Structure 1
Amino acid sequence: MFRAYREFMLALKKRSKKLTYIVGLVSQKGGVGKSTLSRMIAREFEKGGMRTKIADLDTQQQTCTYWAGRRAECNIEPEIQVQSFATVKSALSDAPRFDALIMDGKPNASEQTLEVAKAADVVVIPTGQTVDDLHPGVLLAHSLVRKGIPIPRIAFAMCKTTGSARESDAARRYLEEAGYSVLEGEIPVSTAYGSASDNGKAITETSYVTLNRKASDLAQSIVDRLTELAEKRVA
């Protein structure tokens, strides 16, 4: 269980009425790890006792939807509920039945991306270490801020990293100097993560303890961010 899980649930109970926590995963380009993180977050929330659903908003790719099918075929627990939605509005209409809704948005979908960001408690932007990944991500974040999304609700997640501490530190500085926070932990490039996904598993469910721990650290950081924001709202 997450170290901050109890505090997270207490913050949830302090609200005037039961609401669903919403995590939005958005990106300016494809292939940066958005769906990978969506599945990881959902699995960790379910494992922690939160009834969770992934709203797969990329109706063409349906990456999370097909993954959920593979997971069901392999009888992997906990079961992760995933549904494809054509619009953010329809996804939100289903949210009250759950403790958490993970919205996996389309890449390069400016209008939908803004809708996801407006609805989300936390907006996670996955990025790699190179400027080719970092620059589009920062431009997306700047765009969201200009359209009214508060900076504290935006967080970058380091994905597909090389394992080089120097490169990781440089990427984090790039994002922080642009004015944004970066979640703790990172997801390195590994064939084991791909193999886990092929078999309907999340990246915290590989056969390697070290890789699972790296992914769990990033999931924990997202919980910490939600807890922090929840406490500020009820203070």
Structure 2
Amino acid sequence: MHTWAIISQKGGQGKTTLATGFAVEAARDGAAVVILDTDDRQGTASYWENARATDDVTVVNTGIAVLPLNLAKAEKGQADLVIIDTPANSRDIATEAARAADFVLIPVVPRAFDIASVLQTVKQIKQEGTPFAVVLSQVKHTGSEADDTAASFVDMGVVVLATRLHDRKDFSNAVGLGQAATEYDPKGKAAAELRAAFDEVKRLSDFATKRAKRGAT
């Protein structure tokens, strides 16, 4: 079983959009996928599952105290990929999620006040020693903020995905319908960005989605 955690102490960075989008892509590739929704206040991933027309992705609500138990249940249930969707402003959950994960993805909206907050998340993940990368999300179609933000993280020795998720309505529209952008408009630009980001994270985390590969080893 492979575990990804999507972490940011700042709200509104697109964590659940990534968690659900990646889950759909992994399931489409034949993986058994579980999202652990650790946000007991909003539970956006759980709302997404309720709106979803298919049961190819399982969402489990979990608090910090039972996170290890739910990870063990997922492994016992032969999950191939667990994605931990974390809330904002919860250092304890972020720490536990980073410790449990094989790889952490930190979404960042390239705005000055968001970047300052995310720097604390980067520091926290570095302390845990879990491999991680930053992905720029809700990127505006004009301006140099994304380039400047990416350069700043690279200067700090942080891996930044080459793929950027731009500010596109397809992302939010899809989540509201219990879908991923790749389902909402498979040929759209948001879908292409989501697929590219998923492929990058697979490569960086050394995750093979095909269940046949696991069974053949």
Tell me, yes or no, if the aligned pair for 1:138 and 1:178 is still in contact at 8 Å: no
How far the C-alpha of 1:143 sits from its partner, in A, is 2.4
Is 2:66 the counterpart of 1:85? no
Tell me, yes or no, if the aligned pair for 1:134 and 1:175 is still in contact at 8 Å: no
* Counterpart-to-counterpart distance in 2, 1:186 and 1:179: 18
TM-score (norm 2): 0.87
Is 2:165 the counterpart of 1:187? yes
Give unpaired runs (5+ residues) of structure 2.
208-217
2:138 aligns to what? 160
1:198 aligns to what? 176
Tell me, yes or no, if the aligned pair for 1:129 and 1:168 is still in contact at 8 Å: yes
* Counterpart-to-counterpart distance in 1, 2:203 and 2:141: 24
1:46 aligns to what? 27
Give unpaired runs (5+ residues) of structure 1.
1-19, 229-235
| 98, 105, 110: which one aligns with 1:129 | 110
TM-score (norm 1): 0.81
Q: How many residues align?
A: 203
Structure 1: 4+ residue segments shifted above 4 A = none
2:7 aligns to what? 26
Deviations 1:130-171 (A, max 9, x none): 12122211221112323x324xx0111111000237332211
Identity %: 23
Tell me, yes or no, if the aligned pair for 1:138 and 1:175 is still in contact at 8 Å: no
Is 2:147 the counterpart of 1:169? yes
* Counterpart-to-counterpart distance in 2, 1:219 and 1:179: 22
One-letter amino acid of the structure 1 residue matched with residue 203 of structure 2 = D
2:129 aligns to what? 149
* Counterpart-to-counterpart distance in 2, 1:174 and 1:23: 24
Tell me, yes or no, if the aligned pair for 2:33 and 2:80 is still in contact at 8 Å: yes
